[in-house]
Structure 1
Amino acid sequence: MAADRTPRFYFSLRSPYSWLAYRTLLDEYPDIAAAVEWRPFFEPDQLSEEMLTETGGSFPYTPMSRAKHLYVLQDVGRLAKARGLRLTWPVDRAPVWEVPHLAYLVALREGRGPEYIAAAYRARWEEGRDICDPAVVADIATGIGIDARAAAGAADDPELRREGLRLLHDIDRDGVFGVPFFVHGYSRFWGLDRLGDFVGHLRQRTAPAGRLPEPVGAAVGLGPRSVDDGHAGGCG
């Protein structure tokens, strides 16, 4: 079977490296930001994990060591400072990552996907807010003009849970083990430090005449366990 040629960016509202990749895409590579399909990546809670297992899928993760955690704190601080970005570290209390990521699907349905991601990243990484709190999600939704009740209750919506399950299967099929993660055909690029390589690859493969294709998706568009964050450019 031929590989899907749709260029995809797997982003996570949880990950600081994903936040930095988001900012870099918009600030330095707006043509790429408009051309890729944005797909949310989130660690499944118990319900989602059970649904995923029952339907033959799996989700890769490894526990994050204390040493890695401390390194990420230091490294992200350096990277944000070098980019002139304000960083406020959030504190996650019993997070359920379906809460903010399935709310993105509500925003996408209402044509406000990019605005939601911008507001959610700002709330988490610049204001230090708990975006797994439905009240915070409702506030974000109100601010961008979408249904606050639907967004705040997205994790309790069976239809959105099923859509989230499809996204988890996409993550599994694409071999996504951390974020930010970029996919085009058979090519995979993991981490903030591979973003430039992905940009060069995509421009070379899809725009030999100097023009990127029209956007294929709405350009916009983790708790006690973490996907592997084995190098500084990518984590869960």
Structure 2
Amino acid sequence: MSVAKSILSFWFEFSSTYSYLSVGRIKSVCEKEGIEFEWKPFLLGPIFKEQGMSDSPFNIYPAKGKYMWRDIERKTEKYGLPFRKPDIFPRNGLKAARITTAFLDQPWIETFILEIYKLEFSQNVDISDKTALSDLLNSLGQNAEEVLLLSESTENKELLRKNTEEASKLGIFGAPSFIANGELFWGDDRLEDAIEFLKRV
């Protein structure tokens, strides 16, 4: 009798700096460890609202924000990811999240996800801008108009909303987060811990 493999659930938000770090390395780390993972896009805005916040904690608490930006500089250099602090933070990642949700089963979506983060955190591009999204989709050989249209369907919007509700029910309060055998791990620096737990339990 075959044994079902456990899968690491990777919950990420396009406005999240630390999600950028995880997106840039999760595939290689999981391949090295022989672990399968699934992409789980969601929105932090509604979850922050539940917590009584109307902005990123990194903006609400300036000292925390100052530390975060320096930390991201160090970590992107360590991981070999390009970085430039954006003029506006956080950016609105709703459209990118809808595209990702609608096309999760497509082979180009992993590249799309990483390139969105690079636009946002190394090129200072507004990732909610339709032209920027279209240019990226076209560069990946996709019909941008068709992709954007499908991503805005009522069914797809509902799917992303349900993802966000599921994240909240799982106790997720920030991004990136990882769910390993029902256990929550929060933060890019907990990726390895989540994998270790998944393999051990």
Q: Same fold (TM over 0.5)?
A: yes
- What is the distance in 2 between the residues matched to 1:20 and 1:33? 20
State the percentage of identical aligned residues: 22
> For 1:88-123, what per-residue CA distance to the aligned partner results, in whole angstroms no more than 9, with x for missing partners?
222338943311110112332544321211221222
Structure 1 residue corresponding to 2:110, chosen from 110, 114, 126: 114
- What is the distance in 2 between the residues matched to 1:101 and 1:190? 20
Which letter does structure 2 place at the counterpart of 1:148? A
Are residues 1:21 and 2:22 paired?
Answer: yes
SS in 2 for 1:171: helix
Q: Show the counterpart of 1:79.
A: 75
* 1:90–1:83 CA distance, 2 compared to 1 (3 A): same
SS in 2 for 1:200: helix
Structure 2 residue corresponding to 1:138, chosen from 98, 110, 134: 134
> For 1:154-199, what per-residue CA distance to the aligned partner results, in whole angstroms no more than 9, with x for missing partners?
6643222111111111111211101110102331111112111111
- What is the distance in 1 between the residues matched to 2:31 and 2:119? 22
Contact 1:10–1:182 (CA<8 Å) still a contact in 2? Answer: yes
* 1:200–1:34 CA distance, 2 compared to 1 (3 A): closer
Deviation of the 1:66 alpha carbon: 1.9
Contact 1:99–1:154 (CA<8 Å) still a contact in 2? Answer: no
Deviation of the 1:25 alpha carbon: 1.7
Contact 1:11–1:179 (CA<8 Å) still a contact in 2? Answer: yes
Aligned ranges for residues 37-52 of structure 1 at < 5 Å? 37-44=38-45
Which letter does structure 1 place at the counterpart of 2:162? R
SS in 1 for 2:81: coil
Contact 1:43–1:97 (CA<8 Å) still a contact in 2? Answer: no
- What is the distance in 2 between the residues matched to 1:23 and 1:176? 21
Q: Show the counterpart of 2:156.
A: 160
Q: Show the counterpart of 1:174.
A: 170
Contact 1:25–1:33 (CA<8 Å) still a contact in 2? Answer: no
Deviation of the 1:32 alpha carbon: 5.8
- What is the distance in 2 between the residues matched to 1:61 and 1:154? 33
> For 1:172-230, what per-residue CA distance to the aligned partner results, in whole angstroms no more than 9, with x for missing partners?
1211101110102331111112111111111223xxxxxxxxxxxxxxxxxxxxxxxxx
Deviation of the 1:133 alpha carbon: 1.1
* 1:81–1:155 CA distance, 2 compared to 1 (3 A): same
- What is the distance in 1 between the residues matched to 2:65 and 2:183? 29
| Higher helix fraction (1 or 2) | 2
* 1:127–1:32 CA distance, 2 compared to 1 (3 A): farther
How many residue pairs get matched? Answer: 190
- What is the distance in 1 between the residues matched to 2:196 and 2:186? 14
Contact 2:7–2:35 (CA<8 Å) still a contact in 1? Answer: no
Contact 1:137–1:151 (CA<8 Å) still a contact in 2? Answer: no
- What is the distance in 2 between the residues matched to 1:61 and 1:146? 39
SS in 1 for 2:10: strand
For structure 2, list consecutive stretches of 5 or more residues without a partner in the other structure.
Answer: 1-5
TM-score (norm 1): 0.69
Contact 2:176–2:188 (CA<8 Å) still a contact in 1? Answer: yes
